[in-house]
Each structure stands twice: as C-alpha cells, then as structure tokens.
Structure 1
Amino acid sequence: MKSNTTASLDAGSGMPTQTAGNFESRTYAKVARRLIPFLMLCYLGAYLDRVNVGFAKLQMLNDLKWSDTIYGLGAGVFFLGYFLFEVPSNLILHKYGARRWLARIMLTWAVISACFAFVSTPTMFYVMRFLLGAAEAGFAPGVILYITYWFPSKRRAKMLSVFFMAIPLANIVGGPLSGWILQTFADYQGLRGWQWLFMLEAIPSLVLGVAILFYLDDSIAAAKWLTPEEKKLLQDNIAEDNTEKDSHPSIGAFLRDRRVWLLSAIYFCVVMGQYGITFWLPTIVKNAGVSSVVMVGLLSAIPYICSLVALPFIGMSSDRTKARRLHCAAPMVVAATSLFLLPATSGVGIALGLLSCAAIGSIASSSQFWALPTAFLGGMAAAAGIAAINCIANLAGFVSPSVVGWLNDFTGNQNAGLMFTSSALLVGAALVLLLPAKTVNR
C-alpha cells in the first residue's frame, strides 16, 4: 500500500527539507572546525602579546623605578596607534584578502613585542606601545569581518563566543606561563625575568603569522576543502543574509548613522571594563595577599577558566532566543556589580570569586556585542563599520589604564579605579537598551 505522504523539498537544494537541514548543519560544523580553532590560536597570540605587560609590571616597575601612572599611560598608548590605523587596516583586508594581511599583522607585532625586552625609559615604553598598537590594528575587527564572510547572522553569536574564548584562554595560559618565566628566567644570561617574558611570548605569534599564509583562504570560493555543493550553500546563505543589510553607504551617510556612534559608545564602555580587569588583575591578586609571582599567575587564571566555561553557553542562548541586547547588557551589569563589591571584601577566595564574575561579564559582553552591528551591516559597510566602532571604542584602552593608574596613585589604593570601571560598565549596559530591538535581535 502506497503512502499518500510526500516529503517536502527544500527549494534551494531539491533535497528533502530534513536532509537539507542536516547537510547545512554538517557544512557549518565543518567550517567551524576548520576556521575557529585556528583563529582562536591567532587571537590568543595577539592577546598574550598585548596584555603580558600586566605581568611584566610586577618586576618592571621596580627595576626601572616607574610609577603606576607611567605604567598606566604606557599601557594605554597602545590604543592610540590602534585607533589611527584600525579602519585603513580593515579596508585593506576587505579589498585584498585576509590571508596575507592577517599574516602581516601578526609578524610585525611579534617582532615589536619582543623588542620590549630592551625598553629602559618611559619615552621608549610609550613609543613601543604605540608601535605595537599600530602593528596590531585591524587584527580583531579583521577576524570578526572574516567570520561574517562564512557565517550568516543567525549563526554568528555562537561563533563569536567561541572565538572570544581566546581571551580567557590567553589569560589561562598566559598567567601561569608569565609567572613561571618571571621567576625561572630571572637574571638568566644577564637579563631580568620581565625581559625574557616579552621575548619568549612573542614566539607563538611569529609561528602563527607564517602559518596563516598556508592555512587560511580569502573566500568561500577559494576553499579547496569544501565541495561545490557546500560552497553553494554557504555563498547562497551569505548572499541572502546581506540582502537585508546596509552594504555600500556613502562616507557621509556612514558618519551620520547614529547607530554606529551609539554602538561605538557601548563598546567603549565594554572595553573600559575589559581592560580595567585585564591590566590590573595580577596587581589585585597580589594586593589580596599573594606574594609569589608564580602563585599570582596561577590564581589569575581562575577568573578566565570560569569565563571559558560560560562563554559558549551564553552564545548558544543568544542564537536560540535572538535576544541580542539582553545577552550584551546583562553580563555588563554582572561585571559592574562584582567590581563594585570587590573593595568591601577581604581574603583571596572571595576576591577571586568576584573577579571571576567580573571576567565572565566583561568578556561575554564583548563577544555578544559583535552580534549587534553585524546584524545590519554587510560588505564594505561591515568592513568600515566594524573597524570604526572597534577603533573608537578601543580608545577606552587608553583611557582605562591611564585613569585607573592615576586614581591608584592619587588615592593610594585601587578602590577608586574599581569604582570608575564599574560605573563605565553600567553606563554601557544602559546604552544597549537604546538600540532598536527589531534592528539587532536577528
């Protein structure tokens, strides 16, 4: 007896709908396995070279007789170079391809990072931090843009969450590694531990910079590891996704778009929180009563281990519910509350618990933020928009350590800096609610 039921067919592929859905899921899983772990490794190297100055500070300031103000200003100058070269870098990447440009970025920043071993004056420190920022400009927004070439909006939050797991991974690896290098290589071959720290931690970026040239593909069409059917599926989904986005605005229209400036302000607050934690966490742990630099490194990894566990769940929740605003704002409130409570606590255990909540909130809000602009920007607008938002907001990387360093010196403790960072996160969370839900909740 023949059944009268017929399987529905997917209009695009001609396959039964269920089979087409399975094929699509397998294809995106294949792309994710190929690209995301490698991009995470590259960002891990970038982040390690960017923030290892926080561990170098534990010895560097005493050796060179510098104050927190000098350190904070130098840590922040990085972002001035970043600001100036971010948009041009992303436009070059979009026009000429990610493979060679990302490799160029990684190789130049690795060399400059290693040269920090020979810094001896505040002026040298400021110049080198500026050059490091200029060299790295375009990497993070370039990778975010690159992810938009492969994954449509509905799949992007999870991929961004997984990619941003490189931040806690860098700190999980970097904390214990940096503490070990500082202690083990102290005065080896006539160099201090912090000098070896800069040189040794530049090696991964050098290796990965070369690897990019052989591993990444500039586009879906160039990917030899995909079948023709897989390429067509990916290209059709990206094309459909981009039909609903602003792709080729004029410069004037782009600058007049209030959404871009609002997003820049939101991400400015996110970055304030992120670097308020990153640059000062080793010092906070040390001030909580930990004297050994190795133990400071090990304990500093705990907040980032917690972040590593939480990030993929937050990303999956965002993709499932499409509540993009909530998944960006709520973690900022958690981070702000944790930092606000930190000065009233005593003991390493409670401090680490609050720092863990702060780290989860700040990193989660950073990863979830990028689901907002990529929901309505595509093509050249995405290249310019992501870079513009990132470079404007990353000026917070200059403001945060500079202001916090000055507040620490002025007040004689770290409490004022924590209050400042907490307030910035709360302002950012409030600004998220000004974004139209129908624009970003996709």
Structure 2
Amino acid sequence: MKLSICFMLISIASYGLSYWLPSLVKEFGVGYTANGFLNAIPYLLATFALIFLVPAVRKGDRPLYAMLAASVIGMVCFLSSVFLHNNVYRFALLSLGGPCIYVLLPCLWVLPSRFLKDAKAAVGIATITSVGGFGAFLGQNLVAWVRHLSGSADLPMLIPAGACFLLFFMIFNMIYSEKITRIFMFDEKSKESI
C-alpha cells in the first residue's frame, strides 16, 4: 500500500507540473513559441537525469535514498518557485524540480519486485498503477482548483511541492521501518545461534 501511495503522490506532482507549467511560463510574458521551447527544458534535463543518474541508483537501498533526495530537492525547488519574484530564478527552480519527479518513477518501479513475488507481484503492480491513476486525476484538478481559489498563477506549484513533501515522509518511513526490521531479524538470528 505504501508504494501505491508513493506512486499516487508522484502522479500528483507530475501531472500538476505538466499541466500547469505552460500556463506559469506564459505569465512570464513570453510568446507561444518561446513558451514551447522553455517548457521543453525540464523534460530535456529529466532525460539526462534518467540516462545518467538512474542506472547508478538501482541496487540495494539506493532507490529509496535517491527517492528521498529527489523528493526533498523537488519540494524545495517548487516551494521556492512560489515565493521568488524573479522569473529567471523561478524558471530555473522549476527546471530543476521537474526532473526530480521523473527520477522518482524508475526508482519506484524497482521496488515492487523486491517485496512481491509471483501472483502477488501482478496484483501489487495493478494496485500501484490503479492508485497512481487516481493521483493523475487529482494532480491536474488540484492545480486548477488552487488557481481558481487563489487567483494566483504561482500558488498552484504548492501542489507538486506538497506531494514531494508527503512523499519524503513516506520514503523516510519505508527506510526507517526496513532498518528496524533488519535489526530485529539480526537479533532473532543471534538469539538462535546462542
């Protein structure tokens, strides 16, 4: 269930950003062509991150720690973009925060095979995907709802920031609970050997 919630939060952040970024960049006062080129930058950076960073973090506990780091960096970037008033800095932060979301996805999909085997894996992956689909629905609608209520073009970026914040705590809980389990398993093995 934790992985399902993580995927839902990643979907909320991803769809919130992808649906709102063009509108936010338009508020900078750029034309349609420039808007299109500027919106390609976070995805280009995400491509490089996926090619060069993700293969290095696939083994052991690295996916969880990579997810922890990406969620913190994404949260800080999206939150800072709301409160800065310089458009260059805001866009730079959004361009750094966007790839963080896309680094989270392959790290997440490494994890189900570690916890689930055989038929349970199929059911688990289907559950994760279904809950994630609900996150996609929430992400695109929450951003529009925040824009409607606030009247601000900046505040919708609180949705991806909030999703990254919650994701940080989910991942931290998973790391912490896994370490506790290892400690107890080690204690049980040492008792058996005595």
Q: Using the alignment, how far apart are the partners of 1:394 and 1:414 within structure 2?
A: 25
Given that 2:54 and 2:107 are in contact with CA atoms closer than 8 Å, whether structure 1 keeps it comes out as: yes
Given that 2:147 and 2:153 are in contact with CA atoms closer than 8 Å, whether structure 1 keeps it comes out as: yes
Given that 1:270 and 1:332 are in contact with CA atoms closer than 8 Å, whether structure 2 keeps it comes out as: no
CA displacement at 1:285 relative to structure 2: 0.9
Q: Using the alignment, how far apart are the partners of 1:404 and 1:374 within structure 2?
A: 33
Q: Quick one: which amino acid aligns to residue 404 of structure 1?
A: V
* Structure 1 position 293 matched with structure 2 position 32: yes
Q: Quick one: which amino acid aligns to residue 388 of structure 1?
A: T
Higher normalized helix content (fraction of residues): 2
Q: Show CA shifts across 1:99-131 (max 9, x none).
A: xxxxxxxxxxxxxxxxxxxxxxxxxxxxxxxxx
Given that 2:7 and 2:128 are in contact with CA atoms closer than 8 Å, whether structure 1 keeps it comes out as: yes
Match 2:145 to one of 393, 403, 406: 406
CA displacement at 1:320 relative to structure 2: 5.0
Match 2:124 to one of 354, 374, 385: 385
* Structure 1 position 283 matched with structure 2 position 23: yes
- Cα RMSD of the aligned pairs, angstroms, is 1.9
Q: Which residue of 2 aligns with 1:210?
A: none
Q: Using the alignment, how far apart are the partners of 1:320 and 1:372 within structure 2?
A: 10
Match 1:437 to one of 178, 190, 193: 178
Aligned residues: 178
Match 1:338 to one of 70, 77, 81: 77
Q: Using the alignment, how far apart are the partners of 1:355 and 1:268 within structure 2?
A: 20
Larger radius of gyration between Structure 1 and Structure 2: 1
Mapping for residues 193-212 of structure 1, pairs under 5 Å = none
CA displacement at 1:321 relative to structure 2: 5.5
Q: Using the alignment, how far apart are the partners of 2:85 and 2:29 within structure 1?
A: 10
Mapping for residues 250-329 of structure 1, pairs under 5 Å = 261-290=1-30, 292-319=31-58, 322-329=61-68
Q: Using the alignment, how far apart are the partners of 2:57 and 2:11 within structure 1?
A: 20
Q: Using the alignment, how far apart are the partners of 2:113 and 2:28 within structure 1?
A: 40
Runs of 4+ displaced beyond 6 Å: none
Q: Which residue of 2 aligns with 1:416?
A: 155
Q: Using the alignment, how far apart are the partners of 2:33 and 2:91 within structure 1?
A: 16
Q: Using the alignment, how far apart are the partners of 1:421 and 1:360 within structure 2?
A: 12
Q: Using the alignment, how far apart are the partners of 2:172 and 2:82 within structure 1?
A: 29
Cα gap change, 1:348 to 1:416, in 2 (>3 Å): closer
CA displacement at 1:262 relative to structure 2: 1.3
CA displacement at 1:287 relative to structure 2: 0.9
CA displacement at 1:347 relative to structure 2: 4.1
CA displacement at 1:314 relative to structure 2: 2.4
CA displacement at 1:434 relative to structure 2: 2.0
Given that 1:307 and 1:363 are in contact with CA atoms closer than 8 Å, whether structure 2 keeps it comes out as: yes
Given that 1:340 and 1:419 are in contact with CA atoms closer than 8 Å, whether structure 2 keeps it comes out as: yes
Q: Show CA shifts across 1:274-315 (max 9, x none).
A: 11111111111111221x211111110011111111123322
Cα gap change, 1:437 to 1:318, in 2 (>3 Å): farther
Q: Which residue of 2 aligns with 1:26?
A: none
Q: Quick one: which amino acid aligns to residue 405 of structure 1?
A: A
Match 1:352 to one of 67, 73, 91: 91
Q: Using the alignment, how far apart are the partners of 2:61 and 2:75 within structure 1?
A: 24
Q: Quick one: which amino acid aligns to residue 178 of structure 2?
A: A
Mapping for residues 127-206 of structure 1, pairs under 5 Å = none
Identity within the alignment, %: 24
CA displacement at 1:433 relative to structure 2: 2.0
- Structure 2 unaligned residues grouped into runs of 5+: 182-194
Q: Using the alignment, how far apart are the partners of 2:54 and 2:158 within structure 1?
A: 28
CA displacement at 1:346 relative to structure 2: 3.3
Given that 2:11 and 2:132 are in contact with CA atoms closer than 8 Å, whether structure 1 keeps it comes out as: yes
Q: Using the alignment, how far apart are the partners of 1:416 and 1:356 within structure 2?
A: 17
Q: Quick one: which amino acid aligns to residue 284 of structure 1?
A: L
Q: Which has the higher contact order (CA 8 A, sep 6+)?
A: 2
Q: Show CA shifts across 1:127-184 (max 9, x none).
A: xxxxxxxxxxxxxxxxxxxxxxxxxxxxxxxxxxxxxxxxxxxxxxxxxxxxxxxxxx
Given that 1:275 and 1:397 are in contact with CA atoms closer than 8 Å, whether structure 2 keeps it comes out as: yes
